[in-house]
Structure 1
Amino acid sequence: MSGLLGFCRQGFEPELAAELTERAAYAGIAGYARAQRNDGYVVFVSDQGDALDRALPWRELVFARQKLKVIAELRALDPRDRIAPMLAALEGQRFGDLWVEHPDSDAAKPLAGLARSFGNALRPALRRAGLLSAQEDQRLPRLHVVFVQGDHAFLASTRPHDSSPWPLGIPRLKLLPDAPSRSALKLEEAFLALLDAEERARLLKPGMTAADLGAAPGGWTWVLTRQHLRVTSVDNGPLRQHVLDTGLVEHLRADGFHWKPAQPLDWMVCDMVEQPRRVAERMGTWFREGWCRHAIFNLKLPMKKRWDETRLCLDLFAEQASRPLTVRARQLYHDREEITVFATPRH
């Protein structure tokens, strides 16, 4: 078979399937999605796998934590020798690295031990067969072996520059003791997942100004102060005292949904619990009026038709902004029933 395999949050398989189906159709590529709720992954089957891979860049996918190009699907693997059929399926190819993984689902998590031990056995076998470089080589595709059951695995590849840099597509972030809330991890992950290294260096400079709308208890404000930004935190609720003690924060007790700055800011961030269309429209207003240069905000999704709502909200945001923007949206690992959006002027 050929096509794409995407990891996603457990329970969001229908959303990723709908997204891949629509994006493939828009690119003029035929195929169909195979998805089962709570599997933590979706396969989009197409005989135009190479074209599909190029037409759907990983950075543009919303519900995919990782995007892999399928090489083969191996079923009924013999536990006594899983390696031989894999070597046969990979004959004639060469890879710069190997990741052995499993979906992030309740059913697949027990496969973590198998993935670790099998990687240790497969790596030298691949090198003896001339299929894997002696050292990691980013110029070559990366090989992924994805176990979905002990006797059922996918062989897939990805280009390092067009894929998540983390196994399973999950950045391993640690919640520090002084973080005011777990929501801090969402903004930390957003900076890592939605901005590249050059953008982080250019767009997050000490002394820049920011607004945090709906800031209490201060999780996102705290993340911004760790980047040495000066933050106006807008919320009628209280902020943690140690966040205020940074000397970088002005707390305004006001409604973040209606407040506007007296002068343009470098950043606006927003994690308010509101209807997603209302948030999208308000975020667009911030760009149309020139109140901020860059933004990261969350859209809380409904229980049904979440891909349709995502597309509608992003279109509404772009229409309301009325200016050319680079927009990236993703359901982050630390998101739940929501997606996170980054927007910046298009150059």
Structure 2
Amino acid sequence: MNTVFMHCRPGFEGEVCSEIAEHAARLNVSGYAKAKPSAACAEFVCTEAGGAERLMQRLMQRLRFAELIFPRQWARGSFVELPETDRISVILEHMADFPVCGSLWLEVVDTNDGKELSNFCKKFEGHLRKALLKAGKLVENADDKPRLLLTFKSGREVFLGLAESNNSAMWPMGIPRLKFPREAPSRSTLKLEDAWHHFIPRDQWDDRLHSDMTGVDLGAAPGGWTWQLVNRGMLVIAIDNGPMAESLMDTGLVQHLMADGFTFKPKQPVDWMVCDIVEKPARNAAMLEEWIGEGHCREAVVNLKLPMKQRYAEVRRLLDRIADGFKARGIQVEIGCKQLYHDREEVTCHLRRLDVKKPKSR
């Protein structure tokens, strides 16, 4: 139980290692991070007894799992070698000192080899769940108890871990099960929906994403992100020199302006600004700070495209610069940043200004 195992996007193992190692050093938890390239996972191996649990608990006091940037999922535990048969008995044996758990998730890493194990996990889960219930190691739907997470590296090796249900991913492997809406003009629409699920509690959607609101989509064409705003009933100003989907224009909720997304400013403050422009991350970050800082919008979702090297260091630098800018302005802003499942070589930032009145309803 002395390793923290983390899922991530393939190719970003180094960023996970850098991020968790930085937090561990700050929290005085000794250990080392390691990962194999393109393995879609990383580990932080603690060198003192109880280090993994201490790291997760201390980190929870400073920020929640959802506030980590690159890990998709995490758990504390250890790897277990499994026999060809009677795997359940071996798992139960290794769980002798485990607490009673309130839920069970079987996971695989997000690689082709991992996906091939999905069918095995589906078949195995029912048998394991039944055995855990019988052994008194599992009670169903008990949110006050830890979640049991089994990540199968193969049919013969599994990471047996624990995580608090309220301080780990909302979905197995940190992958949301979103369905592409056929009415949307591009698959990029899932990026914004993914961001809303991650950054906005579902019970707040009706208050923060409703039909009396207004929004601006910078770099909108053909309208994947605009569609999400319109689908919530908002009036949207779409900024792009390219054409918008006719189906969106036919709604009567979209005003399309052919203008530069970096120079456009609304005549009146809006509720939302969203942006997925492909540009240097520093320029997008500066634009995001200006929109929130000058009061052009109350909330914003902006993607920052990442450089090829030192990606975690660059994201951390930009987030610190944004935070320092708001501090200098004397304004209160909630800042979130995550590499979401539907992101690629980018991270998604969500900012919410807390010290301004809501724009007038239309």
State the TM-score, normalizing by the size of structure 1: 0.95
1:63 corresponds to 2:70: yes
What runs of 5+ residues in structure 1 fail to find an aligned partner? none
Code of the aligned partner of 1:19: E
- Percent identical: 42
Separation (CA, whole Å) in 2 of partners of 1:118 and 1:194 = 33
Query: How far off its partner does 1:346 sit?
Result: 4.3
Matched, 1:130 2:130: no
CA contact (8 A) 1:285 1:320 kept: no
Partners of 2:309 and 2:295 lie apart in 1 by: 34
- Answer whether contact 1:21 1:32 (CA < 8 A) is retained: yes
SS for the counterpart of 2:337 is strand
Cα distance, 1:28 vs structure 2: 2.3
Superimposed CA distance per residue, residues 42-64 of structure 1 (whole angstroms, 9 cap, x where no aligned partner): 11112422221123321111111
Deviations 1:54-98 (A, max 9, x none): 23321111111112222x3213x2021211221112124201111
Structure 2: which 5+ runs fail to align? Answer: 356-362
- Give 1:265's match in structure 2, choosing from 270, 281, 285: 270
Give the Cα–Cα distance (whole angstroms) in 2 for the partners of residues 235 and 144 of structure 1. Answer: 44
Q: Secondary structure at the match of 2:112?
A: coil
Select between 164-173 and 51-60 the one with higher mean Cα deviation: 51-60
Residue of structure 2 in register with 1:328 after alignment: 336
Structure 1, 256-265 or 322-331: larger mean CA deviation: 322-331
Deviation at 1:190, TM superposition (A): 0.6
Q: 1:164 is matched with which residue?
A: 169
Instruction: Verify the 8 A CA contact 2:214 2:270 in the aligned structure 1.
Output: yes
- Answer yes or no: is the 8 Å Cα contact 1:215–1:239 preserved in 2: yes
Hey, what does 1:274 align to over in structure 2?
Answer: 279
Residue 16 (structure 1) aligns with: 16
Paired with 2:349 and 2:186, the residues of 1 have a C-alpha distance of: 20
Measure the CA separation in 1 of the matches of 2:322 and 2:86.
Answer: 53
Q: Distance in 1 between matches of 2:153 and 2:197?
A: 27
In structure 2, what is the equivalent of residue 51 of structure 1?
Answer: 54
Asked whether the equivalents of residues 215 and 235 of structure 1 are also in contact (C-alpha less than 8 Å), the reply is: yes
1:343 lines up with 2:351 in the alignment: yes
| Counterpart residue type for residue 112 of structure 1 | S
Moved more, 267-276 or 171-180: 171-180
Q: Secondary structure at the match of 1:107?
A: helix
In 1, are the aligned partners of 2:274 and 2:302 still within 8 Å (CA)?
yes
Distance 1:2 1:229 in 2: 49
Residue 230 (structure 1) aligns with: 235
Distance 1:325 1:99, change over 3 A: same
Preserved CA contact (<8 Å) 1:277 1:316: no
Match in the other structure for 1:316: 321
d(CA) in 2 for partners of 1:283, 1:307: 19
What residue number does 2:359 align with?
Answer: none
Please say if residues 39 and 107 of structure 1, whose CA atoms lie closer than 8 Å, have aligned partners that are also in contact: no
Runs ≥4 in structure 1, deviation > 3 angstroms?
Answer: none
Name the CA distance, whole Å, in 2 between partners of 1:197 and 1:113. 30
SS at match of 1:211: strand
Which residue of structure 1 aligns with residue 358 of structure 2?
A: none
Work out the CA distance in 2 between the residues paired with 1:197 and 1:88.
Answer: 39
CA–CA separation in structure 2 for the residues paired with 1:83 and 1:18: 35
Aligned to 1:243: 248
2: CA distance, partners of 1:55 / 1:328? 20
Matched, 1:5 2:13: no
- Tell me, yes or no, if the aligned pair for 1:281 and 1:320 is still in contact at 8 Å: no
State the Cα distance separating 1:318 from its structure 2 match: 2.1
1:265 deviates by 1.0
Tell me the amino acid that sits aligned with residue 311 of structure 2.
R
Letter paired with 1:154: F
Amino acid at match of 2:53: D
In the TM superposition, what are the counterparts of 1:25-174 in structure 2 within 5 Å?
25-46=25-46, 47=48, 48-56=51-59, 57-70=64-77, 72-75=78-81, 77-92=82-97, 93-133=99-139, 135-174=140-179
Pairs aligned (count): 344
Residue 289 (str. 1) matches residue 294 (str. 2): yes
**What's the offset of the Cα at 1:103?**
0.6
* Residue-by-residue CA offset, 1:1-52 (whole Å, 9 max, x unaligned): 4132111001111111111111221222222112111111111112422221
**Deviations, residues 272-328 of structure 1 (Å, cap 9, x unaligned):** 000001110111011121111110000000111111111112122223343321111
* Corresponding residue SS for 2:131: helix
Give me the TM-score of the superposition, normalised by structure 2: 0.92
Q: How far is the alpha carbon of 1:160 from its aligned partner?
A: 1.6
Secondary structure, counterpart of 2:9 in structure 1: coil
Give the alignment of 1:173-212 within 5 angstroms: 173-212=178-217
Code of the aligned partner of 2:65:
W
